[in-house]
Amino acid sequence: MATSAQTPASHRYTIVAILLHWLMALLIVWQIWVGIWMSGAIEDPATQAAAYDAFQFHKSLGLTLLVLAVLRLLWRLTHRFPPLPAHLPAWQQVAARLSHILLYAFIVLIPLTGWLYVSTGWNSAMGMAFQVPTIWFGLFEWPHIPGIEGSSALADVAIEMHQVMAFALIGLLVVHVAAALKHHFGDRDYVLWSMLPIISNPSKAD
Amino acid sequence: MLQFLKSTFAPVLAVSVALAPIAALAQSRDWEVSRNASEIGFSGTHAGRAFDGEFGQWTARIRFDPRDLGNSRIVVVVDTGSATTGDRVQETTLKNPEWFDSANNRFATFRSNEISSRGGNRYLASGTLEIRGKQVPVSLPFTATISGDSARASGKLTLDRIALGMGTKSDPRAQWVSRNIDLTFQVAATR
């Protein structure tokens, strides 16, 4: 950690931002995996019960992620965050900004479209009404967005967006992780360290 | 505290009020149901898994004499909003307009028209079930054993929820919730 002393503390994310980032990273990967699994498993009588449970859990976790995403966005807007490394070429600066804007948009919009979808009480896969309340981890009823119940058109759009954005997020996550590794092992700068300060900072100074 | 009192006693009060029209039936010959030893339950399958539940709030007026079936009568009033299964998603769904519609049709009522003997301790109560504001004829088979001033009765009735108009939008083909729902009851009573 001797080298990290040469990187200003302002190049590190705040502890709240770091905790939110890794907690959400874990939950999002889980959500995508379960989400893909359950959409198919619900059709199979052998896995219907488990998939039903997965749907209830997916809804609870998704709404939790929505709250966390909003908190995170507020945190981002009200706190200092590390600057991009000075060595970064212009196109990478644009790519970094753009990908982060997209990441923030997705982590808000994906759960939001999921909430919209279940609020319509419409099952787009089956093309019929399907009113299932959302009980947050079995504890209390999470309200559905009022005024859209029975809107099949909205349900179709919401679930389509939900899925398209989830798959786009997978691609974006691959780029995000690859970029972090490239910064750490290739450029040997502080980028990965700024969000994962338990690893050593390869940067000499910046 | 007031809220607690309200939520605890309002259903009892409401059931009592709903029963008022049939209170005229009440005579000293009526059986008094021991609520602690009695239960009205229901069961079926949901998402490929068996479920069972019970109604927390209900009341029954029972006049029953095996030697005088002509004057025997059973009226049961169930608070549909008191159904519990141990699963909050199911419990919330059951109250919804598509199922019990508890907000608009809080009580389901069974009224016997005729009780007949089927031999031994077996009987059949033919009557009307009023649920979701609709009346359907039902025949409720049950057994009853009387010893002195105490009695035990139990029975099972299989209901077609589609015929009752329950879950006909979300699950008309019973892909999620079984079409047949078993209603069971066990009653202990004294007089």
Contact A132 B93 (CB under 8 A): yes
Calculate how close chain A gets to B80, using CA atoms only, in Å. 18
Contact B92 A121 (CB under 8 A): no
- A90 domain-assigned: yes
- A139 domain-assigned: yes
CATH of B29-190, one of 1.20.1070.10, 3.40.50.1370, 2.40.128.110, 3.90.1200.10: 2.40.128.110
Contact B47 A133 (CB under 8 A): no
Q: How many Cβ atoms sit within 10 Å of the Cβ of residue B53?
A: 19
Q: Indicate whether A2 pLDDT > 60.
A: no
Residue A51 burial by Cβ neighbours in a 10 Å radius (0-12, 13-18, 19+): buried
- A172 domain-assigned: yes
Calculate how close chain B gets to A77, using CA atoms only, in Å. 37
Pick A135's closest partner by Cβ from B88, B96, B171.
B88
d(CA B49, CA B85): 13
Question: Considering only CB atoms, which chain A residues are within 8 Å of B169?
Answer: 128-129, 131
CATH number at residue A136: 1.20.950
Model confidence pLDDT, tens digit, residues A106-156: 999 999 999 999 999 999 998 999 999 999 999 999 999 999 999 999 999
Q: Indicate whether A9 pLDDT > 80.
A: no
- A202 domain-assigned: no
**What are the extents of the domains in chain B?**
29-190
Dmax over Cα atoms in chain B, in whole Å? Answer: 52
Pick B92's closest partner by Cβ from A126, A130, A141.
A141
Contact A139 B87 (CB under 8 A): no
Closest-CA residue to B12 (of B63, B109, B78, B85): B78
- A140 domain-assigned: yes
Amino acid (1-letter code) at residue B35 = R
Residue A1: predicted pLDDT:
43
Q: In total, how many domains does chain A have?
A: 1
Enclosing domain of residue A179: 2-195
ipTM score above 0.90: no
Contact B93 A48 (CB under 8 A): no
- A153 domain-assigned: yes
Calculate how close chain A gets to B114, using CA atoms only, in Å. 39
Q: What is the DSSP string of B77-140?
A: EEEGGGEE-S-HHHHHHHHSTTTT-TTT--EEEEEEEEEEE-STTEEEEEEEEEETTEEEEEEE
Segment among A164-178, B9-23, B28-42, B68-82 with least mean pLDDT: B9-23
